[in-house]
Structure 1
Amino acid sequence: MQRAGEGEGGRLDRLPDPRYEGGADSPAVRPPSRSPTWRRPAVQWFSSSAYWFGRLVFQRSLAAVYLVAFLTAALQFRALIGERGMLPVSAFVRRVPFRSAPSLFQLRYSDRLFALCAWSGAALAGAVVAGAADALPLGAAMVCWAVLWALYLSIVNVGQTWYGFGWESLLLEAGFLAVFLGNDDIAPPVILMWLLRWVLFRVEFGAGLIKLRGDPCWRDLTCLYYHHETQPMPGPLSWFFHHLPKPLHRVEVAANHVVQLVVPIALFTPQPVASIAACLIICTQLWLVLSGNFAWLNWLTVVLATSALDGSPLASPPSLPRPPLWYEIVAALVAVLVLALSYRPARNLLSRRQRMNTTYEPLHLVNSYGAFGSITRIRHEVVIEGTADESVTDRTVWREYEFHGKPGDVRRMPRQFAPYHLRLDWLLWFLALSPAYGHSWFGAFVERLLVNDPDTLRLLRHNPFPDAPPVFVRARVWRYRFTTWQELRTTGAWWHREAPREFLPPTTLR
């Protein structure tokens, strides 16, 4: 790109004086050093309008994920981490210092303040989805994204067990980079757009490696014989996926290995190959969306993949101006910070003892990801029951509590909830794997059932004791499996369960 007044080959010519028709040959021509047309050149390696489509779709979609995350927090926090919750924030911040879990709620906590932050985050995320950040000046747009990130970081860092999922850190990592992507006032910063691909690469490649290094069924291509049935929260199509022919299950696993271990490398190649790789990842994630409920993990992976899409076949990119100097400096420093913090996650990818879903610092800036390194062959479910009888005998009538997402009633078809995150239902799936997963919260949960705590009951689909709390509560573990085609036609049941064993003996507040 030529500077104003620059001739061929980069030679600086004299500028014509408008007072003279042939001013270039006139001795009255002034030197160009103070000319208003003398500007710093646009630098394509730092910012480029070619990335406008990827940034636009990524930012609007990420704001939609933020909206779901804040709504999930606002609607569930009182029973989980509220002042009278199972794991109160107030008790947590008394024993964990600010430097270990930086959060607004380290300074002060109340349910009213938490609700204000969660609903404010949801409102701001909704405004950004509608395009509010692009209608604001650059600095104000960055503040909007920074507020979203800081509010959600404050929630995650005091959420304890309820927020111990990999997609929480993934949302924070992607959200941190979104702060510095700019808006429609400037061309997107190239290096930060490529760092989004680096995040996507670690998500996919890390998940692929953890599978190859983990359960042997990933290597012999048989994991999907079991996974659709035993996954944490099956969806409405999971029963049908489970009953696909076994050769097709093997093809699914093989295709998964290709998409997670080979395709991510193509994200760093020129267009249109990078867009093709992103589309393959998107298709795979949508297949997972159809087959189960994984909160916003799949949707957020799709959002990251959109950042690699080239929109030029759809519309010519607009000619956006170069960012101001202060912004370039800030973006460059952020890129250096992220690259420096990437050392440990990159080393983790190469390690034989690869760890899944690991955060290396309290701001969740760069993390390690992975899922389902091992697959459960048999599904167990913790079924919680209560009774109004004053004493427990062989004739005691027990009535079950029903949950929104986890299997219970065998005739109830699994529902679709993702990207909404049913945190209690997920933790109950882990609880069925081992009682150790519930040592910090399950006792408190049972206590709240015994008093009909309204906040806790809002997390359930059905409370069998609407008028008065139960006298006793117990929990048993049942073995669940999907019914066959014939069983479904005959009984109308999606599940078959058998062989109950005691998990929690009849318990009462008395």
Structure 2
Amino acid sequence: MAGTLPDWLGWWTSADYDVARTLLQRGFGALYALAFWGALRQFRPLLGEHGLQPVPAFVARTHWRDGPSLFRWHYSDRLLVAVAWCGVVLGASVVVGLPQAGPWWVPMLVFLTLWWLYLSVVNVGQTFYAFGWETLLCEAGLLVAFLGSGAVPVPFVMIVAVRWLLFRLELGAGLIKWRGDTAWRDLTALDYHHETQPLPGPFSWHAHHLPRWWHRFEVVGTHVSQLVVPWLLFLPQPLPSVAGAVFVLTQGWLVLTGNFAWLNWATIVLALGVIDDGAWAWLGGLLGLPDGAAAASAASAPPTSLAFVLVVGAVALVLLVLSVRPALNLVSRQQRMNASFEPFRLVNAYGAFGSVTRRRDEITVEGTLAARPGPDDWVEYEFRGKPGPPGRRPPQVAPYHLRLDWLMWFLPLGHSARWFTVFLRRLLEADPATLRLLRHDPFDGRRPSTVRAVLHRYRYTTPEERRRTGDWWVRERLQLAVDPVRLPDR
């Protein structure tokens, strides 16, 4: 089992993806570290023992098969902190290359640990972890676990698995758009999207005010990159490398114009992982850099352990079987977006923005210290990422994920919001952990007498309005979304 690979199985490995393996491992190591860091800062007030959706109550009413998780055996905030710190440290160790310096099974064990710990978080995360990039991080982490270390050649079958994931990610997003909303078919989607997306970024206002013809070009480019280019991934090189470069460019534009957590960054890492060493050598020559790839190829290739071959082969076979339902989902008229077909999230369906909202309605939260508040006694709580005061420029927060802010975007769309009632109660209690999720507490830790939620309509200022007022937004009060509420003893 520990012998080297026979010559007749030489096709199983590839000497063309050493750079890709490095980028995939270190890139997803960084994203795991970031995701666990976010759990350290946000999980307890959102989902902890006294959170808005407490994990113990969720576990009590659901079953293991609904979502395997370490926390189904036991949950405590202390255990969550230990898990999150473990994830941060392991992810950081991959970024600096420590596991990759050992035998092939060392990075495998590290990534499998990261996968299991993060799956444990996601499977009890409920509404606050119900996003496609959570599943993407789980699936990608599992694939990267079987790329091996520098002690063995890159297994080509796992590069194919990375291509298959990238194919589903891009084509799934393209198909759900084409099927889901006429705005994508009549090329008007980007007339709205930059303004109505969940968390605009600092350049979203500028993107929105680009010429109409540019928005048409954006939509056409989206369709080409998501419906046509993914098919290049299954053709001989250099076409997969060309596809990877296209995905990097298109995802880079999304990074500049919005805040989509680590979705775009994970896609960029996957796209870099389908580019072969020859393309990197060509790019290095174009930039006048030393040809490190040629020097590496001149060195003797490391032997491959037969045990490594058997492990990766077994994993590839499981992934092949599990790919049937996601493949059928792509051709289905009832295509599911961001769906898992088994509880371990090994091979999944993806998609984004199957519908585009035309208007931006926002829930703002206000409170007062007055016992009998008048119209001028209410002051606004500010969130870290979502639009609030009209004069505040949308911040850059991605690849960090502000979970509370994202869920606030869904409230005006009619999504269930039992957690929001608890959130208002936490504000009335001036709960320190909850207040730390916000950008600004207008009461500096004091308990307000009353809080309420107000529905506003937002739109970007025009360039002329921006010059005149300095504001980024114009907002109009529509109605009370939640009537004033107090604690029972106040």
- Whole-Å Cα distance in 1 between the matches of residues 4 and 58 of structure 2? 58
Question: What is the root-mean-square deviation of aligned Cα atoms in Å?
Answer: 1.4
The answer to whether the 8 Å contact 2:5/2:303 transfers is: no
Q: Is the 8 A contact 2:191 2:212 kept in 1?
A: yes
**Cα displacement string for residues 151-188 of structure 1 (whole angstroms, at most 9, x for unaligned residues):** 11111111111100001001100111111110111001
Q: How many residues align?
A: 471
How much does 1:100 deviate?
Answer: 2.1
- Is 1:195 the counterpart of 2:176? The answer is no
- How far 1:268 sits from its partner (Å)? 1.3
Work out which of the residue numbers 309, 320, 339 in structure 1 matches 2:320.
339
- Structure 2, unaligned runs of 5 or more: 285-292
476-485 or 93-102: bigger deviation: 93-102
Contact 2:194 2:207 in 1 (8 A): yes
1:390 alignment partner in structure 2: 371
The structural deviation recorded for 1:55 is 1.0
Letter in 2 for 1:225: D
Residue 49 of structure 1 deviates from its aligned partner by: 1.6
User: Cα distance, 1:43 vs. partner?
Assistant: 2.5
Q: Equivalents in 2 of 1:437, 1:371: separation in Å?
A: 20
Within the candidate set 336, 361, 364, 2:342 is matched to 361
Q: Distance in 1 between matches of 2:6 and 2:126?
A: 50
Distance change >3 Å, CA 88–CA 38, structure 1 → 2: closer
- Counterpart code for 1:181: L
Q: How does 1:227-242 map to 2 (within 5 A)?
A: 227-242=193-208
1:370 corresponds to which residue?
A: 351
Alpha-carbon shift at residue 41 of structure 1 (Å): 1.4
Residue 433 (structure 1) aligns with: 413
TM-aligned CA deviation for residue 453 of structure 1? 0.4
- Going from structure 1 to structure 2, the CA distance change for 1:38 and 1:235 (only over 3 Å counts) comes to closer
2:448 corresponds to 1:470: yes
Q: Answer 1 or 2: which has greater helix percent.
A: 2
**Do 2:198 and 2:409's aligned partners in 1 also have CA atoms closer than 8 Å?**
yes
Tell me how far 1:467 sits from its aligned partner. 4.3
Change beyond 3 A, Cα 1:398–1:38? closer
Match among 270, 273, 289 for residue 255 of structure 2? 289
Q: Residue 13 of structure 2 aligns with which residue?
A: 47
Letter in structure 2 aligned against 1:404: R
Q: Determine the structure 2 residue equivalent to 1:444.
A: 422
Deviates more, 1:348-357 or 1:37-46: 37-46
Equivalent position amino acid for 2:446 in 1: A
Superposition misfits of 4+ residues, deviation over 6 angstroms: none
CA contact (8 A) 1:47 1:322 kept: no
Which segment is superposed worse, 193-202 or 498-507?
A: 498-507
SS at match of 2:404: helix
Q: Structure 1 residue 39: deviation in Å?
A: 8.0
* Counterpart position of 2:383: 403
Contact 1:184–1:320 under 8 Å retained in 2: no
Preserved CA contact (<8 Å) 1:387 1:396 = no
1:226 is the counterpart of 2:192: yes
How far apart are 1:45 and its partner, in Å?
2.1
- TM-score, with structure 1 as normaliser: 0.90
Partner of 2:26: 60
**Counterpart in the other structure of 2:52:** 86
Cα distance, 1:44 vs structure 2: 3.0
SS in 2 for 1:50: coil
Give 1:323 shift.
Answer: 2.0
Counting aligned pairs with the same residue, the percent is: 52
TM-score (normalizing by structure 2):
0.94
The reply on whether 1:150 has 2:116 as its aligned counterpart is: yes
Q: 1:249 aligns with which of 212, 215, 238?
A: 215
Deviation at 1:42, TM superposition (A): 6.0
Q: Relative contact order (alpha carbons < 8 A, sep ≥ 6): 1 or 2 greater?
A: 2
* Separation in structure 2 between the aligned mates of residue 491 and residue 340 of structure 1, nearest angstrom: 59
The aligned runs of 1:255-274 (5 Å cut-off) are 255-274=221-240
Deviation at 1:141, TM superposition (A): 2.2
1:228-252 CA distance string (max 9 Å, x none): 0000000000000000000110011
User: Quick check: which has more Rg, 1 or 2?
Assistant: 1
User: Equivalent residue for 1:324?
Assistant: 305
1:119 alignment partner in structure 2 = 85
- AA aligned opposite 1:444: V
2:53 corresponds to which letter in structure 1? L
